Chain A
Amino acid sequence: MLTSIRQRAIGSYVLLFGIFILLTLFHRWGLVNLLTVLLGSFWATVFLAWLTARRLITPVEQITSAAQEMAGGVLDTEIRVQGEHELDELAWSINYMARQLRKNLFLITEERNRARAILNSMADGVIALDKNGRVILINPVVESIFDIKEECWIGTELIKVIRNHELEQLFIRALQDMQPVLNNELQVLTPEPRLFRVQISPLKGAQHKKMGVVGLLTDVTERRKLEQMRTEFAANVSHELRTPLTSINGFVETLLDGAMEQPHVAKNFLEIIHTEGKRLANLIDDLLKLSRLEDRRTILHKQPVDLADIIHNTIKMFEGLAQDKNIELTEVIPSDLPPVPGDFGFLSQVIVNLVDNAIKYTLTGGKVNVEVTFNQQSITVTVSDTGIGISEESLPRVFERFYRVDKARSREMGGTGLGLSISKHIVEAHGGKIKATSSQEGSTFYFTLPLD
């Protein structure tokens, strides 16, 4: 049995040569004429050629088409060839190559998926640029920070994807020097103003080949805000404590210097000292109350509370003050208002606080309205005024301790600067929510308490 292609080819030639010799001999002996010799040789050649083609070309074609499929990405086809030894080997080699490719591809995909999963679940933004400054990679955090809607950012310039000149400058600097670049406060304006810490490092390949840069963006808005709040809190507490103390000290000194001898002056001074002392006590009370509420050390005495009652009382309490400023103080309370589980004392304090603020910050001739609405789950109390309003920057901060929209004005009007902060903690301790909105026409504060 001949199996190799070379042996088969030699065999075919020998066979053909034999037939040719035989036919020539037959002709010489006069057994056949010249035409038969020619025709016989011709047909013998055609037959052998056909035989070779069938045994050789068909498997090659099979291998070719399978290889093409593999090139197209279908790696699980196996080539099955029967017959020639060399072709068998070729087919086996190709099959082996496909198997190896399949294995490597799986490993690479796995690796890539892992890298992608890490990038996607990072809390920080990642931006990578190639050495020409074109985007290679942006993770979803960056997409949401800059509100990127484009799906195809690969290969585009950074400024087209993220329209922030400063950020681009940082990246350009890192790309030029191939040195790490750090910026602690990059301001990003849209969609919301935020602050970022940007850290850019060069990407170096083998033999320190310049490959590009990768930048890490960390949101530091909250941290900066907390730092600021802490500094402000310390400054504010000392200021609020010192103001009454200074005036008490001043008047006591004047009294000691001789004012004591004049009884009517002394009485006047002592009254002032008394008021300032009370203010100091109030402030300290508020601070203690707030710290207890913050620590959740305060125990609420929950019982069914009729909010209508609290609101009536509050409005009665402020009627005089409202009349002095010519402010129209109104209430809208549904008659079938259900009682809400809560602490009567604390809830009264919230409502008194909100109405007090509303009257304070409404100019003469304005309106203050207290309205209650309810549904099956909750009760909402809304206190709206036609006052001076609160700017957008201040709005999220009004519930912070000692935050004052306008420092000078608020202190003139008295108050400790803790009212809204305490209210917020009380409402939250009841499982509710408090919010403020403001527009040109005035501010609205509302809080919601759950009914069950």
Chain B
Amino acid sequence: MSTRQSFDKALADLQQDVLRMASVVEKLIYNAVKSLATQDPILAGEVIEGDDLVDEQRFQIEDKIIKIIATQQPMAKDLRILITGIRIIISLERMADHSVDIARVTMCLVEEKLIKPLVSITAMAKLAQQMVRDGLDAYVHNDPDKAREMCEADDEVDHIYHQTYKHLVSFMKRDPDTIGQATYLLFVARFLERIADHATNIGEAVIFQATGEWKELN
């Protein structure tokens, strides 16, 4: 195999590794919110453990990228692909951390009755998951338009976040007994909002990969 061929293969492998990691993270987000909604401490435990796999994947991918940069000295587009890879895995790793944070909240609230069904929180989680998925779609197809489109969903997440904030504050005002739980739920909404922000970072990285320009999208 010529040098260029093996280099191309390394880049393709890298893309697949990123997709694998994204699929694991997507599931962590889903399970974290599900564990909270169904008050399932076992599922929450799985999420907390699942983060180790994500960390491991992250370090492996990072190692690979560093090795490629050190041995091949890539230029232009090749370099952009590698930088994009690093950006995406860092965002994914942060998302996984936030999922663990949500699972920890589940653990804290297991004994309590939820003050309300988690309508908006599940809606936010669903949007955030879709954003991650669309971001990765844009990454696979190297499609900056799709990346921009996907980032628009972030506005909706922000909107639901603000609504949830108001709603939970009104709960706290009405009944001080709910303050403890409402604060936790507010944290969860915040974590999900951050997860969506990290998803827009993926979009930004994809645009950089395709065009070489950094654009703030949220």
Give A residues with C-beta under 8 Å from B. Answer: 157, 159-160, 163-166, 168, 187, 189-190, 193, 388-394, 405-406, 408-409, 438-440
Q: With A391-B37, A391-B119, A393-B38 given, is the CB distance from A159 to B113 under 8 Å?
A: no
- Minimum CB–CB distance for A335 against chain B, Å: 36
B23 touches A163 (CB 8 A): yes
Residues of A within 8 A of B117 (CB): 388-391, 394, 405-406, 438
A440 touches B119 (CB 8 A): yes
A392 touches B119 (CB 8 A): yes
- Minimum CB–CB distance for A226 against chain B, Å: 19
Is B90 among interface residues, defined by CB-CB distance under 8 A?
A: no
Q: With A157-B16, A159-B16, A164-B23 given, is the CB distance from A189 to B129 under 8 Å?
A: yes
Residues of B within 8 A of A389 (CB): 116-117, 119
A390 touches B119 (CB 8 A): yes
17 contacts between A and B (CB under 8 A): A159-B16, A163-B136, A166-B27, A168-B20, A189-B26, A189-B27, A190-B130, A390-B119, A393-B122, A394-B117, A406-B113, A408-B113, A409-B113, A438-B117, A438-B119, A440-B119, A440-B164
B22 touches A163 (CB 8 A): yes
Residues of B within 8 A of A394 (CB): 117
CA distance A2 to B149 in the complex (A): 81
**B17-40 to A contact mask, C-beta < 8 Å, 1/0:** 001111110110010001001100
**B180-197 to A contact mask, C-beta < 8 Å, 1/0:** 000000000000000000
CA distance A341 to B122 in the complex (A): 40
Residues of B within 8 A of A393 (CB): 34, 37-38, 122
Chain A's closest residue to B121 (CB) is A391
CA distance A165 to B20 in the complex (A): 5
- Minimum CB–CB distance for B110 against chain A, Å: 14
Chain B's closest residue to A193 (CB) is B30
Is B66 among interface residues, defined by CB-CB distance under 8 A?
A: no
Is B167 among interface residues, defined by CB-CB distance under 8 A?
A: yes
- Minimum CB–CB distance for A407 against chain B, Å: 10
CA distance A243 to B27 in the complex (A): 39
- Minimum CB–CB distance for B120 against chain A, Å: 5
Partner of A440, one of B15, B20, B129, B167: B167
Chain A's closest residue to B38 (CB) is A393
CA distance A189 to B126 in the complex (A): 10
Is B163 among interface residues, defined by CB-CB distance under 8 A?
A: yes
CA distance A21 to B38 in the complex (A): 113
Partner of A160, one of B16, B27, B167: B16
CA distance A406 to B34 in the complex (A): 15
B20 touches A388 (CB 8 A): no
B27 touches A440 (CB 8 A): no
Residues B42-64 near A (CB distance < 8 A)? none
Residues of B within 8 A of A390 (CB): 117, 119
- Minimum CB–CB distance for A211 against chain B, Å: 22
Is B114 among interface residues, defined by CB-CB distance under 8 A?
A: yes
B116 touches A388 (CB 8 A): yes
- Minimum CB–CB distance for B155 against chain A, Å: 17
Specify the main secondary structure of chain A where it touches its partner: loop
Apart from the given pairs A393-B34, A438-B119, 14 other A-B contacts in the complex at a CB distance below 8 Å: A159-B19, A163-B133, A163-B136, A165-B20, A165-B27, A168-B20, A187-B27, A190-B129, A190-B133, A390-B119, A392-B126, A393-B122, A408-B113, A439-B119
Chain B's closest residue to A440 (CB) is B120
Is B217 among interface residues, defined by CB-CB distance under 8 A?
A: no
CA distance A163 to B19 in the complex (A): 7
Residues of A within 8 A of B136 (CB): 163
**B114-142 to A contact mask, C-beta < 8 Å, 1/0:** 10111110110010011001001000100
CA distance A164 to B27 in the complex (A): 9
CA distance A127 to B123 in the complex (A): 32
CA distance A391 to B160 in the complex (A): 15
A160 touches B140 (CB 8 A): yes
Most chain A C-beta atoms within 10 Å of own C-beta, residue among B20, B23, B122, B133: B23
- Minimum CB–CB distance for A374 against chain B, Å: 30
CA distance A389 to B163 in the complex (A): 14
Residues of A within 8 A of B37 (CB): 391, 393
- Minimum CB–CB distance for B74 against chain A, Å: 22
Residues of A within 8 A of B129 (CB): 189-190
CA distance A159 to B19 in the complex (A): 7
Residues of B within 8 A of A166 (CB): 23, 27
- Minimum CB–CB distance for A83 against chain B, Å: 54
A159 touches B27 (CB 8 A): no
CA distance A383 to B112 in the complex (A): 31
B122 touches A160 (CB 8 A): no
Residues of A within 8 A of B21 (CB): 165
A165 touches B24 (CB 8 A): yes
Q: With A160-B16, A163-B136 given, is the CB distance from A391 to B23 under 8 Å?
A: no
Chain A's closest residue to B24 (CB) is A165
CA distance A409 to B16 in the complex (A): 48
Residues of B within 8 A of A440 (CB): 119-120, 160, 163-164, 167
CA distance A115 to B120 in the complex (A): 47
CA distance A408 to B111 in the complex (A): 13
CA distance A168 to B27 in the complex (A): 14
A160 touches B19 (CB 8 A): yes
Residues of A within 8 A of B16 (CB): 157, 159-160
CA distance A163 to B130 in the complex (A): 13
Which 9 residue pairs spanning A and B have beta carbons closest together? A391-B117, A165-B23, A389-B119, A392-B122, A163-B23, A165-B20, A159-B19, A388-B116, A159-B16
A159 touches B123 (CB 8 A): no
CA distance A166 to B24 in the complex (A): 8
Chain A's closest residue to B125 (CB) is A392
CA distance A390 to B116 in the complex (A): 8
Partner of B30, one of A189, A391, A408: A189
Residues of A within 8 A of B123 (CB): 392
- Minimum CB–CB distance for B168 against chain A, Å: 11
